[in-house]
Amino acid sequence: MFSTSSIIDNLNHSERLEYKKLCRSLKITKKSERDKLDIALTALEKLEIINKNENNEYTCIKDSNHIVAKIRCSSKGYCFAVREKNKEDIYIKENLLNYAWNGDKVLVRIIKEGYRRRSPEGIVDCILERSNQILLSKVEIINNDVYAIPIDDRILSKIKLPKEDKKYAYKKENKNIVKVEIDRFPIGQDEGLGHVIKELQLNNNEELDTDFVLSKSNIIKLSNNNLIESKKIEKRERIDLSDKNSFLFRSWNSDNSPILPMIQIEHGQNKTTKLWIHTNNLAERVELNSKKSLEIFFNGFESFPLLDNWQNYLSEGIRYDSEFKLGEKNEAISLCLNLNSDNEITEWSFHLTLVRCSLIVGSEHTDALLSRKSKTRITSRILKPIKEYIEDLDKILEISTLFREKHLFEGNVEIPSPLNNVKKLDEFFIHNPAEYSKGYFEPLTKDDCQTYLSPLLHEGNLVWFKHSNQYGLKSAGYISKGLDYINANEIIKYSEFIGNDIELNEDGNLSFNQIIKLCEDDNKKRILHKLLINEFKENELSLITKNCDNKESEKLYISPWTVPGYNFTNLINQYSIFNMLINGKKSKKNNIKEINIMKSNSWDSVNWDIFNSSISKNIDTLFNTFIIDKLNEYKNKINQYKSNMISIKKVRKAEKLLGNIYSGFILSVQSYGFFVELTDLNVEGLVHVSTLNNDWYEYRSRQNLLIGRKSKKSYKVGDKIEVKIIKVDILKYQIDLELT
């Protein structure tokens, strides 16, 4: 089904588009769909967003007063149109939203310019794309009519339901939430219409939690039937490395967790080394040149953990054909890093290879390797069976550790992931070596072998950015400012954690690493980590081109490609590497001398375009702002889902412990109360200010504390207190506490 956004995107990609060609681009064949398109085109013309000439050709009006933005609403009813980075948000009054909902992509017109500290004000003229086709709601009877009331209080509409849906009326004891499919969004004087497609009775029914959280995060649960299938790969010349030992590091427990690359070591003369990263050859097996393929990927761009397994964005067939199987030959797309005696990268090259998995390295192996006292005597029952591989594994762990030390020296920061006390969530807390949306690293830990895979892949991904950028190729990647400093004023709020031994630099700042070292108490350090994580904004995916200012010292550019089984970003970057390998021009026309364009510094000898126009066109369909925006949208949904799934399971845990008393630390203080982490349970709850009935408490934001007017009793971040669990709310993922 087309959207207003897809109409404008198609028109933006061409100077003029005739009506029939527009229909073909949007895959419109039915008369009913053409009628809807006609209505949309007429409306866009009247709004002066598009123009039609005498030849029935449509174009976008370039100097339109409209701004593309996304609606963000708060639970208190304040709504803003959020536009591109570094541009001011636009305040939208509720009566000027024109039924746009939180998350919708819209066209906004500014009607009042901002001044002083006030935001500009605007009106929504057109809704380009709806973010919610299905709503989680409570069914209520209002004046004998049946309505769905969204449980998300940022959605400021109710949806009228058929009379027969009154059987789903909300009952507090059942917590029976329904999934409502929208048949018609509200427009003008007409109410929105919908119907119930499923009821979720959440009270004491944990089996429905996944469905509930996925729906709340607006994520479709995929089946193998609606995923891309594997295609046969062509026979190509490959370097046969199957007689060499290659190692697959894996901590994930689920059978269908993302397929991971392998690492191989070649020991050279004078303590030099070749480090090979063998990646699963998905770019050879996935059809990426058709719009049909892209439309399938739009349903899911990333693999993520459920409770018992993973939801993969690739089919089981592709996974089976591409994963590295123990003792078997497999095709791979590989990177060879040449390291000197100091384990510094001196050269690199990309290859098509044949490889064989010698050993699946688990966390029990890294634990045993790093815990042993002597490297000469192998007595561990875990290490004895793999004695022949130990020299190579030791070298891999050594290189990984040195790579990480280099990354930290460059200003990056390590912060441990939070502790997990809920067995069902184990897969959520195992380190993901392909995740780059965080602004910090997780430390290397011997009981999670994937942490040691991470620095190696990080270097491999950095190499592709350098290589592709030197050749002027587009890539999809992350641009991080590598934040290592926090304003001293923020430290004051955390003073209970770090004591008084503080030395600031010339600018009055303190490094993150210094803060963490100054905190000696393990419990406080864990909470401090949580507070510091909030200082990092999620890294957004960007379209990286040759024109990017990649020489800014405070920025880090990285183009992930080494784990294409994890997400679409890795896949399309690997697709670009694959095309260089098989389709890249190695010389000028009629020139016999060929250049190995897959080798570092080869660009110094190349003064021609690597790809012909046909290949460039194929690649441009994947590397554009439209695709990047879709990837960022999906990543935000996944991050929300993971956070909410962790929250609901912690609330379920607290639900069974109502009335119990626990010790905890105050995590943060707000005007309405303070949040406490229960140390034994590793869950967070709220002590509402209304429960502090022994005094009137005043909130002081600068000191980040609540203080009683009469008693002068204060509650601040870091205070140790005892609380009782008095209430839980599954729908809001909320635990209510009171002081004892």
Contact 565, 280 (CB under 8 A): yes
User: What is the average per-residue pLDDT within 110-135?
Assistant: 89
Identity of residue 588: K
Residues 734, 738, 739, 740, Cα dihedral to 10° = -120
Give me the pLDDT at residue 63, please: 67
CA-closest candidate to residue 438, choices 481, 407, 396:
481
User: What is the average per-residue pLDDT within 630-654?
Assistant: 93
In 6-86, the DSSP E strands lie at 17-18, 50-52, 57-60, 66-73, 79-82
| 1 CB-contact burial (10 Å; exposed 0-12 / middle 13-18 / buried 19+) | exposed
Half-sphere exposure of residue 576: CA atoms within 13 angstroms, side-chain side: 30
Reduce the DSSP state of residue 160 to 3 states and report it. Answer: strand
List beta partners, residue 177: 200
User: What is the average per-residue pLDDT within 594-613?
Assistant: 92
Give me the pLDDT at residue 663, please: 93
Q: Which of these ranges, 410-414, 423-427, 554-558, has the smallest mean pLDDT?
A: 554-558
Identity of residue 461: N
Give me the pLDDT at residue 510, please: 57
Has residue 340 got a pLDDT over 90?
yes
Q: How far, in Å, CA of 563 to CA of 311, rounded? A: 16
Has residue 554 got a pLDDT over 50?
no
| Cα dist from 222 to 88, 264, 313, 350, 613, whole Å | 37, 35, 8, 34, 35
Q: What confidence tens digit (pLDDT) does each residue in 466-518 have?
A: 999 999 999 999 986 655 455 545 555 555 555 555 565 555 565 656 666 66
Q: How far, in Å, CA of 131 to CA of 633, rounded? A: 10
Has residue 64 got a pLDDT over 80?
no
**Superfamily classification of domain 66-129:** Nucleic acid-binding proteins (2.40.50.140)
* Mean pLDDT, the chain, integer: 88
Q: How far, in Å, CA of 35 to CA of 42, rounded? A: 11
Q: How many CB atoms lie within 10 A of CB 507?
A: 9
Q: How far, in Å, CA of 281 to CA of 273, rounded? A: 24
Chain Cα centroid distance, residue 242? 35
Q: How far, in Å, CA of 132 to CA of 708, rounded? A: 44
Contact 28, 38 (CB under 8 A): no
Burial code (b: 16+ CB inside 10 Å, e: under 16) for 709-723 equals eeeeeebbbbeebeb
How far from each other are the two terminal CA atoms of the chain, in whole angstroms? 56
Token reading at 544: 């990286």
Give me the pLDDT at residue 302, please: 96
Q: What confidence tens digit (pLDDT) does each residue in 425-470 have?
A: 999 999 999 999 888 899 999 999 999 999 999 999 999 999 999 9
DSSP class per residue in 274-331: EEEEEEE-HHHHS--SSHHHHHHHTT-SB-EE-SSSEE-SS-HHHHHHHSPPBTSEEE
Give me the pLDDT at residue 552, please: 46
Reduce the DSSP state of residue 66 to 3 states and report it. Answer: strand
User: What is the average per-residue pLDDT within 709-714?
Assistant: 90
| Cα dist from 198 to 121, 135, 367, 528, 637, whole Å | 39, 11, 46, 42, 21
Q: How far, in Å, CA of 546 to CA of 284, rounded? A: 26
Q: How far, in Å, CA of 395 to CA of 434, rounded? A: 22
Length of the chain measured in residues: 740
Give me the pLDDT at residue 364, please: 96
Instruction: Write the secondary structure of 519-545 as one string of H (helix), E (strand) and C (coil).
Output: CCCHHHHHHHHHHHHCCCCCCCEEEEC
Token reading at 509: 């700042």
Give the right CATH number for 134-201 from 3.40.1190.20, 3.40.47.10, 3.90.1110.10, 2.40.50.700: 2.40.50.700
Whose tokens are 């959605």? That residue is 155
Q: What confidence tens digit (pLDDT) does each residue in 291-315 have?
A: 778 888 988 999 999 988 999 999 9
Q: How far, in Å, CA of 167 to CA of 170, rounded? A: 9
Whose tokens are 């009683």? That residue is 708
Contact 216, 136 (CB under 8 A): yes
pLDDT over 90 percentage in the chain: 56
Give me the pLDDT at residue 231, please: 86
657-739 belongs to CATH 3.40.50.300: no
Give me the pLDDT at residue 582, please: 94
**Residue 553 — very low, low, confident or very high, per pLDDT cuts 50/70/90?**
very low
Give me the pLDDT at residue 489, please: 53
Has residue 219 got a pLDDT over 50?
yes
Chain Cα centroid distance, residue 41? 34
Whose tokens are 């004892």? That residue is 740
Q: How many CB atoms lie within 10 A of CB 592?
A: 5
Reduce the DSSP state of residue 724 to 3 states and report it. Answer: strand
Give me the pLDDT at residue 691, please: 92
Task: State the span(s) of the chain assigned CATH 2.40.50.700.
Answer: 134-201
User: What is the average per-residue pLDDT within 49-66?
Assistant: 83
Token reading at 456: 């190696």
| 185 CB-contact burial (10 Å; exposed 0-12 / middle 13-18 / buried 19+) | buried
Contact 443, 401 (CB under 8 A): no
Q: How far, in Å, CA of 213 to CA of 19, rounded? A: 41
The residue with greater pLDDT, 556 or 161, is: 161
List beta partners, residue 647: none
Q: Which residues contact 28 (CB under 8 A, 6 or more apart)?
A: 2, 34, 37
Task: State the span(s) of the chain assigned CATH 2.40.50.140.
Answer: 66-129, 657-739
Q: Which residues contact 286 (CB under 8 A, 6 or more apart)?
A: 228, 230, 231, 293, 314, 318, 571, 575
pLDDT over 70 percentage in the chain: 91
Q: Which residues contact 290 (CB under 8 A, 6 or more apart)?
A: none
**Residue 634 — very low, low, confident or very high, per pLDDT cuts 50/70/90?**
very high
Contact 598, 585 (CB under 8 A): no
Give start and end residues of each alpha helix (H) in 471-567.
488-493, 495-498, 512-518, 522-533
